[in-house]
Each structure stands twice: as structure tokens, then as C-alpha cells.
Amino acid sequence: MSVLGPGTGLRLGDVGVLLAGTACVAGLTLWSWGGGPGNTAVIRAAGQVVETTALTRTHTFSIGGPLGITQVEIQPGRARIAVDPSPRQLCVKQGWLTQAGQVALCLPNQVSLEIRGRNTTYDTLGY
């Protein structure tokens, strides 16, 4: 029972084994490299933690820095830098952060947003 033509010789079960193998690889990758879904957002300004909040409800924090106000938007399961006065907008372009260990740094304004899960990826972050 060849499903992809006689040339490849792939049978139905082979496709199943390949799919299972791919799922196994994907699972292993997530398990060993991904930090898992995050559940806490830690916001720092000038290296000091100013907010630690659970990713449970929609909320917006406004953090003051040397250049102006950085707005951090929290939603269930994710968080992002919504507005930042930095010239290149790198941390804003990072978009939504969902995985534990992900960090958005707004260096010019000295604000950082870090997502944490059950296990913290870094002991500390400093400028």
C-alpha cells in the first residue's frame, strides 16, 4: 500500500512513524529548549524590580525612565512593551512574550520586561 507513488515506497504506517517521529522531535525540543509557558511578568526600571505581576488579567503599567514613559501591556498568558520612547523601538518590535525566559529590553529607557515560569531561566539581570 504505497501512498506517495511507487517511487518512494512509503507505506501508510511509514507516514505514521514519520509523523510520530516529528512529533517526538518537536516535543523534545520544546521540553529541553523551551522554558515552558510563562506565568509571571517582572518589570524592571534602572535595574530595580518595580512590578511583579501574574499573567492573568489585562492591565497596563506605565514605567518612567530617563527618556520618558514606557508602557507595558499585560494580558492573560502574555505581555509586551506597548509604547517606548527609544529611538529604534527594538523592544516594542519584539511583540508579545509568552515563554518563560523571554526578555524585552528597552535599553535607552532602562526598562526591561521578563517573563518567568515555574523555573527561572536567569538568576538576575543587570545593566
Partner 1 sequence: MTRSVIELPVHAEDRRIARLAALAIGLTLAEAALPSPIPGVKPGLANIVILLVLLQHGWRAAAWVSALRVLAGGLLFGSLFAPGFWLSAAGALASLLVLALARHLPPAFFGPVSLSVLAAFGHIGGQLALAGWWLLPAAALIKLLPVFATAALIFGTVNGIIVTRVLAASTSDRRQSAPCTPP
For residues 32 and 48, which CB has a smaller minimum distance to partner 1 in the complex? 32
Q: Where do runs of H (alpha helix) occur along the chain?
A: 5-8, 12-33, 90-93
Question: In the bound complex, what is the minimum distance in angstroms from residue 80's beta carbon to partner 1?
Answer: 27
Contact residues for partner 1, defined by CB under 8 A: 1, 8-14, 16-18, 21-22, 24-25, 28-29, 32-33
| CA–CA dist 77, 38 (Å, integer) | 7
- Strand pairing category for 78-83 and 103-106: unpaired
For residues 13 and 76, which CB has a smaller minimum distance to partner 1 in the complex? 13
Question: In the bound complex, what is the minimum distance in angstroms from residue 33's beta carbon to partner 1?
Answer: 6
- Strand pairing category for 48-54 and 40-45: antiparallel
Q: Which three cell numbers stand for residue 23?
A: 512529533
For residues 26 and 107, which CB has a smaller minimum distance to partner 1 in the complex? 26
Question: In the bound complex, what is the minimum distance in angstroms from residue 83's beta carbon to partner 1?
Answer: 36
